[in-house]
Structure 1
Amino acid sequence: ELRDAADQPLAARLSVLGSDGRHYAPDDAWIRADDGFDRAVQEHETHYFHCADACTLQVPQGAISVSASAGFERRPLTRKLRLAAAGERLQLAFEDNALPPQFGPWTSLDQHVHMNYGGHYRNTTATLADAARAEDLDVLYNLIVNKEQRLNDIAEFRPGASEIGGVTLVQAQEFHSSYWGHLGVLHLGDHVLTPDFSAYRHTALASPWPHNGVVAALAHRQGAVVGYVHPFDWPIDPAKEKALTNTLPADVALGNMDYMEVVSFADHLATADVWHRLLNLGYRLPAGAGTDAMANYASMRGPVGLNRLFLNQSGRSPAALAEGIRSGHGFVSNGPLLGFTLEGKRPGEVLARANGGAAVFRASLRTGIPVDHLEVLVNGEAVAQLKPGRNGGGDFEGSIDLQHSGWVLLRAWGPSTPLLMDIYPYASTNPVWIEMGDAPVRSPRDAGYFVAWLERTIADVAARDDFNTAREKEATLAYLRSARLRFEEAM
């Protein structure tokens, strides 16, 4: 039986390990498993299921371990017991672990879920909402996408949003191009963009046209919100990459991106490094977050809500959600909760000053997953290291010196742990933007980094011979050269 801090019934995620070393679940539950694990730490991957508020299991006698979680704002639980006979009952009561109320309110979003990704076990919107409820997730985006030649869930598409048992479900799209990088296309106002992918070599859609800038423009005509998803799995060095054709820098420079997933099915620190470089050039690109959960697969990235964006708002209408994503008012996380203000300004807001000087920040951390880094960054450099308390959280106040236009954010991260079904815990607020008089945000070093990046991309595109027409190729090269010029002018 599952209860919250007020002793009310609660849905949650459970993992039950029996005395025989096997995981157990109710007969009518979908049991799932982590898509990876460290064999030096675990004998096998974590198995889990979702429970509405009370569940019955058959397990062997002996030692039983029960782990439970109910979102990020409650402490996870682990209970060990010895089962001697049938009919034993276990009640789990969760403790609240939310941020102080002065930082709220919050609405949690997973911007990247696939309700069905092929296979024989099929999710419905109702079962998907059940999973979100057990993860204490407010808003879930189902990204309709091709799985090879199939477009699963395309019949589910409709503009707007639906409300299912307290969960807001938005039908959206992922546009696939492993050449240019994958895009999340949220809040389409009329229709899914088909055929949903480009640059699939050795197919009828081998041409790299349309590039992502064209796709973003088509989506924006419908009022959509567009961003890069699961961007980078390792630190990007333009001089050392075997190939470098991801067009995130070009699309940001030319004003075609509304967000990028910073916490995602990728390396969070490597992705954040690219994001920070863009921020250093004055591009106010908000962070997003998405799990890329294949929600009807037993062992393929999940659970839903593993990676999420917390918007500093209570409104869940499609218009409010779209505006919240674009505004950057909030933080992204796979576990730690972050509260941050700078001279009273929240993430996504502007702190304007005529001259440099000290600025007071307030920060809070709440987490059920250990982190060993909590730091305030100014233009990408850590200027204040904060130490979490013994319970993993803390409330902090301090002062930092600001002398230049730019940005300030709070982030937390730590070592890999079996408590988290992701590579390691990571959270980051969006920036508070600093305007120091009329001084622009400048970083010639980062501008040069993206010039080198786009040189590689332009060379790769120029060498391709599978565009449908010469006009498509020239238009693509012109787009990339225009973006390169923006960065050259910033050097």
Structure 2
Amino acid sequence: MPRRLTALLALFLLAGAAQAAREPVLKQVDLPHSYYWRELYLPQLTTGPSSASFLPDGDTLIYSMAGSLWRQRVDDATATELTHPARAYDYQPDAARDGRSVVFARYDGNATELWRLDLASGREQRLTTGGAVNVEPRLSPDGKRIAWVSTQGSGHFNLFVAELDAAGLHHARPLLGERKSALDRYYYSAFDHAINPSWSPDGKTLYYVSNPEIGWGTGDLFAVDVDQPAQRHRVLGEETSWSARPEPAPDGRRLLYASYHGRQWQQLWLTTPDGAAPLPLSFGEFDRRNARWSPDGKRIAYIDNRDGNTALRVMDALGGATRDVVATHRVTRLPQAQLVLDIVDEHGARTPARVAVLASDGRAYAPDAAWMHADDGFDRALQSAETHYFHCAPPCTLDLPAGRAQLWVQHGFAYAPWRQAVNLAAGRATPLRAQLQPQRLPDAYGRFISADLHIHMNYGGHYRNTPAHLAAQARAEDLDLAWDLVVNKEERFPDIAAFRTDPDPASTSRTLVLHGQEYHTSFWGHLGLLNLGDHLLMPGFSAYWHTAMASPYPTNGAIADLAHAQGALVGYVHPFDTLPDPAHDAVLSNELPADVIQGKVDYIEIVGFSDHKATAQVWYRLLNLGFHLPTGAGTDAMANYASLRGPVGLNRVFLDTGGQHDRAAAMAALKAGHGFASNGPLLGLLLDGAKPGAQLAPGRHHYRVALRSPVAVDHLELVHNGQVVKAFTLGGDRRHLDAEGDLDLDGGWVLLRAWNDGADPEVLDLYPYATTNPVWLGDHVLVPSARADAAWFAKWMDRTIEAAAARDDYNTAAEKRMTLDYLGKARDAYRALAAGKPSTTTAETGR
């Protein structure tokens, strides 16, 4: 590998990335909500197996594991590595019926292409080109044709077929073509997709999943005559979620697939090609999926996450006896070395942490039992693929190719990142000790605990999470409080059984695991409900078009009332990806302004799964009107994902509890605005000795500020009533500053913020950003721009009322009347403020 490329791959050694151009993984896919399809559909790098295919003997499997293809007999513990591409990863093998070759998908950081491996010679042949996403290759029984799913030409997942011979593919073509649905689909593209292909035993029919005129889920099971693609029909109507993968039995009489089928976890089900009522083949509170029949129909190989990580198992179709296929001994293609990593804090005590390892082959590695996670974006000028990482409870032992490896260790924000390169000799174990150095704020600025207010423990991902494992993830990230928000995803509520009103028994003295709720309505905006004292609010969502729960009622305000009745705090989560524009947005239905002015909102995620700067602009306008609305922070981490929006604690709020480490103190600090939110920089602000959340008289004030950051910061600013009044010059590595001075400040508010113009590869987010809560100046002072801000919100409410009035799916006239009355009251209050008149519906409520 050229030395320059090696340096680019080693992202952990690069500095000065303030202008980095972060882009999504597989940016060529033109579909909404990438955090679903990327994890639930596309193959991901896992240390455990991810997909498998039988060879003709029915006793040998070829499967994907750790980015390579492996061959292993079911009754043998030795696995032989068949492929090992540099700077790329192999997935989804499909063995030819004659046992001579296997087709598979290879991801190189830019695209996913189809390849073929000759099993006798080891020769690899690339089958597709063009930079699309090509996945799920399936060979016809006679080996003369291949079906797969590709985004070629459209950016959407469409079903393709081609002839196949020794030279490669011929006459590749989309089988069904593009079709745009007449339905509004929130989570799915307006264009239908066709995924999960498999051949009938006679090679004439393809079974697949598609969603024509289906609003929710990835669709129904279909069948199509390959030579007469207009002859297609629905086999079974059922909501599926990306990985149903219908698989006909060799006898052609049964159709095996994975389904939730009204439950919380995917298991294996059987129907028939005629769509007979499905019956379960397996049971359990975990996922079984990616199932394949053996050629004689006597066995089924599948992937499950019963033990947390992915595992490969083979079940007898008759009787259900199950064997675990475990690679106790691995025959690798490259000489191997062993790395034993120990991680300690400043006192020499072992400390769990997040670790990224990039080996000499340009691929990511983790211990065999660790959960491998991947970032959701990266800068292609600095990296060949997204950052992969795992959580290490030291010491951690890794097997990886000999040669030079790069390591990055991070333990939250209060420790400096640790980076080092190490040369590993083949056949030897190399010990390495990472000693972390603290970079904490002085105690004068507060005694903080950190909290991620928005985590989803399980959400349909590759792994099966538990409260104990979530606590371990949080501990590795130096996170004190992990708040699991139980949430629905259409038909399922994966963590509903974990909900409890008291701290989870998996909590430790260092890490609290708590359970709350995210209330879903994509019309009004999503809510975080913390500290529910009795029960989850059911059904957990509203305003779902084309369902029996289509009514926009209840509003978020009504849900907030129910939550407050249980003693909960209510927050708006992941609010805005762009600044709302009441004059030009096609639809503006977000309810935030109405709920704030009527005292329903206790916090807002300024730092979360949204654009922090855009959200802050809305927040500043609310602060200008005197609303004491504190910032919270939440990652919206799907903590059982391999391709993770995260890790947990990526976005967190630091709460000044005076050193108390309990839920009550944390909630009191959150509600009072005592602290700051961040995805990296630590901020300290004192105004005449007062901390954020305090109230002072207007006038001349002495400020003290502090910055400690794991990454370089471009901008550190004091903001008064939405305007920068002091910009600090950052020198050296731009990670550390202590400053003080005096400012004349009239009424309103002042806060400290840090932000970067662009991304930094050491912050797995859009860009580094942090903000304190405001210090208030005066009692309910309206700033000079308040009337204009109120007028802006009044126009916003005009548009929200317009959107709500246009809905024709309220259950009753009373629901519509209550909704419009509630919104109208908020609009009137903003109009009164815009006219300079006092309002009776403002922050005087105390929320």
TM interval, short-chain normalised: over 0.9
Q: By how many angstroms is 1:400 displaced?
A: 1.5
Q: By how many angstroms is 1:441 displaced?
A: 4.4
Match of 1:463 in 2: 806
Q: One-letter code of the match for 2:415?
A: R
Q: Which of 741, 746, 767 is 1:424 aligned to?
A: 767
Match of 1:47 in 2: 388
Q: Is the 8 A contact 2:750 2:775 kept in 1?
A: yes
Q: Which of 494, 500, 504 is 1:158 aligned to?
A: 500
Question: Distance between the aligned counterparts of 2:807 and 2:653, measured in 1?
Answer: 38
Match of 2:364 in 1: 23
Q: Is the 8 A contact 1:365 1:388 kept in 2?
A: no
Secondary structure at 2:493 match in 1? strand
Match of 2:223 in 1: none
Q: One-letter code of the match for 2:424?
A: L
Question: Distance between the aligned counterparts of 1:417 and 1:121, measured in 2?
Answer: 28
Q: Is the 8 A contact 2:461 2:642 kept in 1?
A: no
Q: Which of 512, 529, 534 is 1:190 aligned to?
A: 534
Match of 2:833 in 1: 490
Q: Is 111-120 or 245-254 further displaced after alignment?
A: 111-120
TM-score w.r.t. the length of structure 1 is 0.97
Q: Which of 344, 362, 373 is 2:689 aligned to?
A: 344
Q: By how many angstroms is 1:486 displaced?
A: 1.2
Q: Which of 327, 333, 336 is 2:672 aligned to?
A: 327
Question: Distance between the aligned counterparts of 1:155 and 1:149, measured in 2?
Answer: 15
Q: Which of 406, 415, 419 is 1:65 aligned to?
A: 406
Larger strand proportion of the pair? 2
Trace 1:33-432 onto structure 2 (pairs within 5 A). Answer: 33-85=374-426, 86-119=428-461, 121-162=463-504, 163-164=507-508, 166-313=510-657, 314-353=659-698, 357-391=699-733, 392-403=735-746, 405-414=747-756, 415-432=758-775
Secondary structure at 1:359 match in 2? strand
Q: Is the 8 A contact 1:188 1:219 kept in 2?
A: yes
Question: Distance between the aligned counterparts of 2:669 and 2:446, measured in 1?
Answer: 14
Match of 1:4 in 2: 345
Secondary structure at 1:147 match in 2? coil
Q: One-letter code of the match for 2:804?
A: V
1:170-210 residue CA offsets vs partner (Å, 9 max, x unmatched): 11000000000000000000000000000000011000000
Question: Distance between the aligned counterparts of 2:433 and 2:644, measured in 1?
Answer: 30
Match of 1:445 in 2: 788
Q: By how many angstroms is 1:84 displaced?
A: 2.0
Q: One-letter code of the match for 1:346?
A: K
Question: Distance between the aligned counterparts of 1:26 and 1:429, measured in 2?
Answer: 38
Q: By how many angstroms is 1:399 displaced?
A: 1.5
Q: Is the 8 A contact 2:462 2:641 kept in 1?
A: no
Q: Is the 8 A contact 1:351 1:432 kept in 2?
A: yes
Question: Distance between the aligned counterparts of 2:662 and 2:442, measured in 1?
Answer: 25
Q: Is the 8 A contact 2:577 2:611 kept in 1?
A: yes
1:40-84 residue CA offsets vs partner (Å, 9 max, x unmatched): 332100000000121000111111000010011000011012212
Q: By how many angstroms is 1:152 displaced?
A: 1.1
Q: Is the 8 A contact 1:143 1:184 kept in 2?
A: yes
Q: One-letter code of the match for 2:676?
A: F
Question: Distance between the aligned counterparts of 1:435 and 1:62, measured in 2?
Answer: 63
Which stretches of structure 1, 4 residues or more, deviate above 4 A after TM superposition?
438-442
Q: Is the 8 A contact 1:160 1:318 kept in 2?
A: no
Q: Is the 8 A contact 1:375 1:385 kept in 2?
A: yes
Match of 2:147 in 1: none
Q: Is the 8 A contact 2:625 2:781 kept in 1?
A: no
Q: Is 36-45 or 67-76 further displaced after alignment?
A: 36-45
Q: By how many angstroms is 1:320 displaced?
A: 1.9
> Are residues 1:474 and 2:813 paired?
no
Q: Is the 8 A contact 1:13 1:50 kept in 2?
A: yes
Compared CA separation, residues 439 and 87, structure 1 to 2 (3 A) = closer
Q: One-letter code of the match for 2:627?
A: Y
Q: Is the 8 A contact 1:129 1:165 kept in 2?
A: no
Higher RCO (CA 8 Å, separation ≥ 6 residues) = 1
Secondary structure at 2:821 match in 1? helix
Secondary structure at 2:441 match in 1? coil
Question: Distance between the aligned counterparts of 1:384 and 1:165, measured in 2?
Answer: 40
Compared CA separation, residues 83 and 196, structure 1 to 2 (3 A) = same
Two-structure CA RMSD over aligned residues (Å): 1.2
Secondary structure at 1:309 match in 2? strand
Q: Is the 8 A contact 1:254 1:483 kept in 2?
A: yes
Q: Is 178-187 or 313-322 further displaced after alignment?
A: 313-322
Match of 2:258 in 1: none
Secondary structure at 1:477 match in 2? helix
Q: Is the 8 A contact 1:458 1:477 kept in 2?
A: yes
Q: By how many angstroms is 1:165 displaced?
A: 5.4
Secondary structure at 1:207 match in 2? coil
Give ranges in structure 2 of 5+ residues lacking alignment: 1-341, 835-847
Match of 1:454 in 2: 797
Q: Is 99-108 or 242-251 further displaced after alignment?
A: 99-108
Q: By how many angstroms is 1:388 displaced?
A: 2.3
Match of 2:233 in 1: none
Q: By how many angstroms is 1:104 displaced?
A: 2.4
Question: Distance between the aligned counterparts of 1:336 and 1:280, measured in 2?
Answer: 25
1:333-359 residue CA offsets vs partner (Å, 9 max, x unmatched): 000000001111100010125xxx321
Larger helix proportion of the pair? 1
Q: One-letter code of the match for 1:257?
A: V
Count of paired positions:
486
Secondary structure at 2:400 match in 1? coil
Q: By how many angstroms is 1:236 displaced?
A: 1.6
Secondary structure at 1:362 match in 2? strand
Question: Distance between the aligned counterparts of 1:239 and 1:388, measured in 2?
Answer: 39
Question: Distance between the aligned counterparts of 1:389 and 1:84, measured in 2?
Answer: 40
Q: Is the 8 A contact 2:695 2:777 kept in 1?
A: yes
Secondary structure at 2:399 match in 1? coil
Secondary structure at 1:298 match in 2? coil
Q: Is 230-239 or 180-189 further displaced after alignment?
A: 230-239
1:306-343 residue CA offsets vs partner (Å, 9 max, x unmatched): 00000011223332222111000000000000000111
Match of 1:13 in 2: 354
Secondary structure at 1:383 match in 2? strand
Question: Distance between the aligned counterparts of 2:459 and 2:383, measured in 1?
Answer: 28
Q: Is 363-372 or 35-44 further displaced after alignment?
A: 35-44
- Could you tell me the percent identity over the aligned residues? 53
Q: Is the 8 A contact 1:132 1:304 kept in 2?
A: yes
